[in-house]
Chains A and B, each alone.
Chain A
Amino acid sequence: MTSEVTPELFASVPDQDGRFGRFGGKFVAETLMSALADLEQLYARLKDDAAFQREFDEDLAHYVGRPSPLYEASRLSDAIGGARILLKREDLNHTGAHKVNNTIGQALLAKYMGKKRVIAETGAGQHGVASATVAARLGLDCHVFMGEEDIRRQALNVYRMKLLGAQVVSVTSGSRTLKDAMNEAMRDWVTNVDDTFYIIGTVAGPHPYPMLVRDFQSVIGREARAQSLAQYGKLPDALVACVGGGSNAIGLFHPFLQDESVAMYGVEAGGKGLETGEHAAPLSVGSPGVLHGNRTYLMQDDDGQILETHSVSAGLDYPGVGPEHAWLKDIGRVQYVAANDDEALAAFHRLTRVEGIMPALETAHAMAHAEKLAASMTPDQHIVVNLSGRGDKDILTVAALDGIEV
């Protein structure tokens, strides 16, 4: 990167073509280009529209239950003996994860566009549940695309979506996980583009999605920043969040990007270990390429074929990552690291036992790194971890990994 890192730089992305430096863009079939242009125009108008923002804020307050607390994990911090670990409790949101912040926003956009049908892709099922939830509330027809493999891993969330009235479409192509669910959602969107709004669950996809999902999720970081100042009279020293597509991480990071003193760590799924090739860590060991509408870091082979990923958590099991993260990596503003399956599982158990908070397995990756980081820091320093989701959905997976039959 040649551009100098200044505070203004962070407000300048994406540019009008949806670029974050060399990343982002609109790499989609011609059929979708006018739908993306419509969405872009609508969002440009509503972004600063007081009535729209008020509706969004009220939904977040009274339906989602925001603001979410910033909680000091004292016993865990004491046990580690380094920096204090503060948890941004997105797990306490309605539906149990940060995902709903975005689906509330996109459902409002669908409503303004007069679309009667919404579609979504999902990995762990959290975004599918959050989409089915807002669809139920607005009386919209909802189809959720989910890989066959993930349907097996996340049976509870599949049933939740069905209870909410959504149709869960099993995707049997490719590796039968999140990336294939996204392919299938794109195919449905191309086919039903006139009446359908595609609620993308992460900061990936073609422009303007990475921008608008970031904007909707940035409520996390805005609150955390204000809470940190109000509760402790200072900004945190470091932020930690897990990164699959990267929406909870960008939501926490974005409002802090201009605060030079705040270090940031995005934690990818190291799977069975980066050296084994069985992981989902494109920022750590991938290379730039084009997938799902944007240029970003990908896990790919020498022929440009997308590789299958592995992670204990379905929500991180994705071979790409949001283009803004790719850019933040290149300019050096955020450090991207990996935590492997075993480390995440250990962190899951520790937080559950020491704090009585059961994190999602995705979130447990962030906890695993935060513990290491805290140990290298001092007790007067603060780390904010985005506790992006609760772990109820994962208990059967955890039991199976621990060799226990429930």
Chain B
Amino acid sequence: MSRLTQVFADLQSDKRRALIPYVVAGDPSPEGTVSLLHSLVDAGADILELGVPFSDPMSEGPVIQKGHERALGNGMSLQRVLGMVAEFRKDNDRTPIVMMGYANPIERFGYEAFAAASAEAGVDGLITVDLPPEEVDAIDGALKAVGLDNIFLISPTTPEPRVQKIVERARGFIYYVAVKGVTGSAQLDTDEVARSVSLIREKTALPIAVGFGIKDATSASAVAASADAVVVGSALIAEMEQKAHSAEDLEEIQIHGAAVQLLQSIRAGVDSSPS
């Protein structure tokens, strides 16, 4: 059983919802990323979503864009992201890691080489924002061959027949994009999310994660009422950014602490959600 399947099975038997934090690999620093990931797990993360820095992150709002820019400024590359996953796996063989990024760095790496290196490093799934089902064939075959899950996005604009087409080839879980917009957008409509999630649920037994626009315990709790998993990204990065600017000479662990604290409160929100 894959790590992702195991985690969702365990959560289901405990009647709990998954919490998935997103951070950008190499932000705020490459040296700190692995320890940040461990801290996020300690704070209640069930699955980790690791952003692969890209020069042109077209679906990201300003907060995550800056994270990508900082990470690239710190000399990050796809190869180094894979190294971080391998490093994390030395101490944690249980928490699934899903990488989220854009097609070009992977294409440059080579789809088969990338799939092999990801499996070797201990990656469990991949979300590639700009590889919709129409463009995914080449990489999907490579991922399948090494047992990695390709995770598809469904958005509020996805028409129903297309939802069917997407869930038929989806593995791992479904990622429902809760807002029309970029990451970190403000206008989350939880009633709409609930309607869409139940519509997707009619078509698939896969777990459904919801992300984009969830920023605190309240919004996480509202989304967790319908979703199997809640993704939070921009809010964590914004929190670390704010902390970093709040004082001179902070230890990186203090900056991480800001994200950890927010994640803990979101964990409580998710767990308090009526199921």
Asked if B105 is an interface residue, CB under 8 A from chain A, the answer is: yes
Contact residues of A with B, CB < 8 Å?
17, 25-35, 173-174, 179-180, 183, 186-187, 190-194, 289-293, 298, 300, 302-306
Q: Shortest beta-carbon distance, B267 to chain A, in Å? A: 28
Contacting residue for B155 out of A30, A186, A302, CB 8 A: A30
B58 touches A186 (CB 8 A): yes
Contacting residue for A30 out of B57, B102, B153, CB 8 A: B153
B135 touches A29 (CB 8 A): no
B52-67: CB near A (< 8 Å → 1, else 0) gives 0011111111100100
A35 touches B157 (CB 8 A): yes
Q: Which residues of the other chain, A, contact B104 by a CB distance below 8 angstroms? A: 289-291, 298, 300, 304-306
Give the residue name and chain of the B residue nearest to A185 (CB): B58
A290 touches B103 (CB 8 A): yes
Contacting residue for B56 out of A26, A32, A35, A291, CB 8 A: A291
A34 touches B105 (CB 8 A): no
Asked if B273 is an interface residue, CB under 8 A from chain A, the answer is: no
Q: Which residues of the other chain, A, contact B78 by a CB distance below 8 angstroms? A: 303-304
CA distance A300 to B156 in the complex (A): 33
Give the residue name and chain of the A residue nearest to B158 (CB): A30
CA distance A194 to B181 in the complex (A): 11
Contacting residue for B131 out of A27, A180, A302, CB 8 A: A27
Q: B-side binding surface: helix, strand, loop or mixed? A: loop
With A183-B58, A290-B130 known as contacts, the answer to whether A30 contacts B103 (CB < 8 A) is no
Q: Which residues of the other chain, B, contact A293 by a CB distance below 8 angstroms? A: 130
CA distance A290 to B132 in the complex (A): 13
* Interface CB pairs A-B, < 8 A, 13: A27-B103, A29-B59, A29-B177, A30-B157, A173-B69, A183-B57, A190-B59, A191-B180, A191-B181, A289-B104, A300-B108, A305-B55, A306-B56
Q: Shortest beta-carbon distance, A30 to chain B, in Å? A: 4
CA distance A75 to B185 in the complex (A): 59
CA distance A35 to B158 in the complex (A): 10
Asked if B154 is an interface residue, CB under 8 A from chain A, the answer is: yes
CA distance A211 to B102 in the complex (A): 24
B contacts with A, residue count (CB < 8 A): 43
Asked if B106 is an interface residue, CB under 8 A from chain A, the answer is: yes
With A29-B129, A190-B181 known as contacts, the answer to whether A303 contacts B108 (CB < 8 A) is yes
Asked if B31 is an interface residue, CB under 8 A from chain A, the answer is: no
B126-165: CB near A (< 8 Å → 1, else 0) gives 0001111011000000000000000011111111001000
Asked if B107 is an interface residue, CB under 8 A from chain A, the answer is: yes
Q: Shortest beta-carbon distance, A382 to chain B, in Å? A: 41
CA distance A174 to B156 in the complex (A): 28
Contacting residue for A31 out of B56, B77, B134, B156, CB 8 A: B156
CA distance A183 to B79 in the complex (A): 25
A304 touches B155 (CB 8 A): no
Q: Tell me which of A30, A31, A190, A192 has the highest count of chain B C-beta atoms within 10 A of its own C-beta.
A: A30
The 6 A-B residue pairs with the shortest CB-CB distance in the complex, in nearest-first order: A304-B108, A304-B105, A31-B155, A191-B181, A303-B77, A30-B153
Q: Which residues of the other chain, B, contact A192 by a CB distance below 8 angstroms? A: 180
A33 touches B162 (CB 8 A): yes
Asked if B116 is an interface residue, CB under 8 A from chain A, the answer is: no
A183 touches B56 (CB 8 A): yes
Q: Which residues of the other chain, B, contact A289 by a CB distance below 8 angstroms? A: 104, 107-108
Q: Shortest beta-carbon distance, A2 to chain B, in Å? A: 18
CA distance A191 to B183 in the complex (A): 10
Extra contacts, 13 of them, besides A31-B155, A34-B162, A291-B56 (Cβ < 8 A), are: A26-B134, A29-B153, A31-B157, A31-B181, A34-B158, A174-B55, A174-B69, A290-B103, A291-B104, A293-B130, A303-B78, A305-B55, A306-B104
Q: Which residues of the other chain, A, contact B152 by a CB distance below 8 angstroms? A: 30
CA distance A303 to B102 in the complex (A): 12
CA distance A186 to B240 in the complex (A): 27
Q: Which residues of the other chain, B, contact A28 by a CB distance below 8 angstroms? A: 58, 130, 132
Asked if B182 is an interface residue, CB under 8 A from chain A, the answer is: yes
Q: Which residues of the other chain, A, contact B54 by a CB distance below 8 angstroms? A: 304-305
Q: Which residues of the other chain, A, contact B103 by a CB distance below 8 angstroms? A: 27, 290
A33 touches B158 (CB 8 A): yes
CA distance A243 to B229 in the complex (A): 47
Q: Tell me which of A28, A31, A186, A192 has the highest count of chain B C-beta atoms within 10 A of its own C-beta.
A: A31
CA distance A25 to B180 in the complex (A): 22
